[in-house]
Amino acid sequence: MVERVLDRYRERTVEALLRHIPEQSPPYLYELAADYPGRPCKGLRAALCLATCVAFGGDPARALNPAVTVELFHNAFLIHDDIQDGSELRRGEPTLPAAYGVEVALNVGNATNLLGLQRLMANRRELGGELAWRLFEETELMCRQSLEGQALEIAWIRDNACGLVPGDYYRMCLKKTSWYTFLYPCRTGLLVAEGAATEANRLDRFGWYLGAAFQIQDDVLNLAGTEADYGKEIAGDLWEGKRTLMLIHLLERCTTAERVRIVRYLSRTRAQRGPDAAEDVQWLLDRLAAYDCVESARQAAAGLVEAAEREIDRVLGAVDDEGGQEADEAREFLFALPGFVVERGR
Amino acid sequence: MVERVLDRYRERTVEALLRHIPEQSPPYLYELAADYPGRPCKGLRAALCLATCVAFGGDPARALNPAVTVELFHNAFLIHDDIQDGSELRRGEPTLPAAYGVEVALNVGNATNLLGLQRLMANRRELGGELAWRLFEETELMCRQSLEGQALEIAWIRDNACGLVPGDYYRMCLKKTSWYTFLYPCRTGLLVAEGAATEANRLDRFGWYLGAAFQIQDDVLNLAGTEADYGKEIAGDLWEGKRTLMLIHLLERCTTAERVRIVRYLSRTRAQRGPDAAEDVQWLLDRLAAYDCVESARQAAAGLVEAAEREIDRVLGAVDDEGGQEADEAREFLFALPGFVVERGR
């Protein structure tokens, strides 16, 4: 069921998204802004926005433009991310910076953000000035949260933070992942369904739990998945020195001698590491397994899924069961999403 | 006089800009967004916005926020530009990517754009909803023009365009340089002075001529200036293969044998060029001098300055000479700006 709803909403959203990409384009600009959105993906954020709107009694046609908007900002993040991480693969194909260089990719990322801005402006005509302005405010907040979360993660790597506790990770996660992937789509879906004056934060806890579970699962897949499943470089997070929940657990659990080796490994950039780096990464994978770090991350994700299910139950319990079959299905989708997110292959 | 007005408006703008940079910041984010704006600069775009507002009878206090906005977007462009060009120096100091790496610099560029967006939202309270929305529209248009102009320039380098004519350069210039440096500040200044319904495009020709003169002069300084004057790497444009008016003239004027050498040089990226690259660049500088390309670019800039002076004369001729001393001075500033732009040391 979740996959059917995802497919339907993704199809609608991608179709609308591609319709708004200008045909007149200088080379290597808008045509490439259509690249990532056209690759196979779940369209999770768009579907969440549309399903939330429908579940709370709104008209999905009115939420289509906000759904396109979140996908555009998401794809712009991905492009900039791929530049920052020097990633090679995205959704199973070469990243834009790998294929076209940083110069072109940075412009395409900015063009994608600009297309998102254009969609926000189009809301004024489609949804009225008051709601359009509220959606602008939500978008500014979402961009701010994402940017601050990412800055935090980068600063940890740069300053070689080795004394982090799980709470630090969860706070970073809320900003970097949960906000734009879950809170923002839920908030904009609620706003379209109920109007500019509604309490748009009612699904924040749901989105926060779900986002943390999603990010932990993403981190687990990065280490334990296969490249075909995951669509990205395997153990890339270890190569980049990302502070995942698993790495934080490992630093808490390992011996002093092991800690010295981990800290020394993390203190070096990818370029600074010698030819033994692959051996170090393999050793880290072994240690993560030896201390059950992957397993305890999986358990943390499972606990967060349960918490998200309790939350959506609570919030949807206060909603009238009206709106016919599509609304029933959308509510079912929201209930099932936490479990789906953690079982996903990629 | 021009410098006195620039100084005064820059001081006001930078002070307001820095006041809006959040104090609470993850490391390497907002604190670094204050870096470029705090370096010595002319503050040309902010001054033009404020002076236009005042010259057309507006209150400069109301144009301060739009002036801060254009400086923020300008600084975000500079940061992204420095990433794309791999530049080492900006305003006489190391660029952000040179000092902190691409990962941090890209985030700081995005944070600077976000601060610009926040200023646009603040207009609603300060200037009312209608004018705030018009300024959003102008900003979207400006970002679009800049991005498309830059994409065009990048595509020319990437596809090794060697058959360009001066008209191509001028069209690129209008989009890449004139729009955000001159047309946008004039348009926003007019909008604040005269309201959302005014014809905000009355200074477009002025801005276009001025922008082309400004960019040509910038290209000339890049080749003929000294590093101390220019604050950037000398002959960097030749290293990057930028299609300047001078290079286009050279390709039109040189012998077939010279053309072959130029096209071969341009076909290679900086990384692909061998140890003879510095020799090639020196040879290009000699050829540019031999064919009077620098001199004819200077003459083209001088012609554009005259055209800009005629334009501002025409438009300001239709304005009442009211508003007291500050308005008189602002009009004088607009008259004198074209000459100043081309005589500037940097």
Supply the pLDDT for residue A346: 41
Give the model's confidence band at B323: pLDDT under 50 very low, under 70 low, under 90 confident, else very high: confident
Same-domain status, A152 and A108: yes
User: Do A133 and B118 count as a contact with CB atoms less than 8 A apart?
Assistant: no
CB B187 within 8 A of CB B195: no
Q: Which residue has the tokens 């924040």?
A: A204
**Angular region, B328: left φ>0, alpha ψ -120 to 50, beta rest:** alpha
- Give A-chain residues touching B84 at CB under 8 angstroms: 102-103, 106-107
Domain, as residue range, for A264 = 202-310
Residue B345 covered by a domain: no
Q: Is residue B173 part of a domain?
A: yes
Is position B199 within any domain? yes
Could you say which of B85, B124, B151 has the minimum Cβ distance to residue A26?
A: B151
**Structure confidence at residue B283 (pLDDT):** 95
CB pairs under 8 A between A and B: 106
Same-domain status, B168 and B274: yes
Q: Do B136 and A152 touch (CB under 8 A)?
A: no
- Closest CA of chain A from B216, distance in Å: 22
Task: Please tell me the distance in Å from A199's CA to the nearest CA on chain B.
Answer: 21
Contact state of A29 with B147 under an 8 Å Cβ cutoff: yes
Do residues B118 and B180 both lie within one domain? no
Q: Verify that B199 and B317 share a domain, yes or no.
A: yes
Query: Which residue among A110, A129, A136 sits closest to B80, beta carbon to beta carbon?
Result: A110
Q: How confident is the model at residue A85 (pLDDT cuts 50, 70, 90)?
A: confident
Mean pLDDT of the A36-52 span: 94
Interchain pair B106, A106: CB under 8 A: yes
* Residue in B102, B107, B154 closest to A150 by CB: B107
Give me the CATH number covering residue B70.
1.10.600.10
Q: Are residues B303 and B221 in the same domain?
A: yes
Residue B229 has pLDDT above 80, yes or no: no
> Is a pLDDT exceeding 60 seen at residue A25?
yes
Q: What is the ipTM of this complex?
A: 0.93
Same domain, B184 and B56: no
CA distance A264 to A251: 12
In a domain, B137, yes or no: no
Grade residue B346 by pLDDT with cuts at 50, 70 and 90: very low
- At A295 the pLDDT is 95
State percent of chain B over pLDDT 90. Answer: 82
Q: Write out the residues of chain A at the interface with chain B, using a CB-CB cutoff of 8 A.
A: 25-29, 80, 83-85, 101-104, 106-107, 110-111, 113-114, 117-118, 121, 124, 129, 133, 136-137, 140, 143-144, 147-148, 150-152, 154-155, 158-159
Q: Is residue B333 part of a domain?
A: no
Residue B155: closest C-alpha in chain A: A27
The helix-helix angle for B2-19 and B44-55 (nearest 10°) equals: 110
Of the given ranges (A16-25, B148-157, B317-326), which has the lowest mean pLDDT? B317-326
Range with the poorest average pLDDT among A116-120, A182-186, A316-320, B208-212: A316-320
Asked if residue A343 belongs to a domain, the reply is no
The verdict on residue B149 lying in a domain is no
Which among A149, A171, A200 is the end of a domain?
A200
Q: Do B106 and A124 touch (CB under 8 A)?
A: no
User: Is there a single domain that holds both residue B2 and residue B79?
Assistant: yes
Indicate if B16 and B100 belong to the same structural domain: yes
Residues A121 and A207 in one domain: no
State residue B76's pLDDT score. 98
| Mean per-residue pLDDT of chain B | 93
Shared domain for A168 and A214, answered yes or no, is no
Instruction: Compare all CA atoms of chain B with the CA of A148 and give the residue at the minimum distance.
Output: B26
By Cβ distance, the residue of B28, B84, B117 closest to A103 is B84
**Is residue A342 in some structural domain?**
no
DSSP state of B197: T
Same domain, B57 and B108: yes
- Locate the chain A residue with the closest alpha carbon to B156: A27
Q: Which of A28, A117, A118 sits opposite B151 (nearest CB)?
A: A28
pLDDT tens-place string over residues B49-86: 999 999 999 999 999 999 999 999 999 999 999 999 88
**What pLDDT does residue A105 have?**
97
Where does a domain end: B127, B150, B171? B127
Overall domain count for chain A: 2
Mean pLDDT, range A160-177, rounded to an integer: 96
Same domain, yes or no: A226 and A81: no
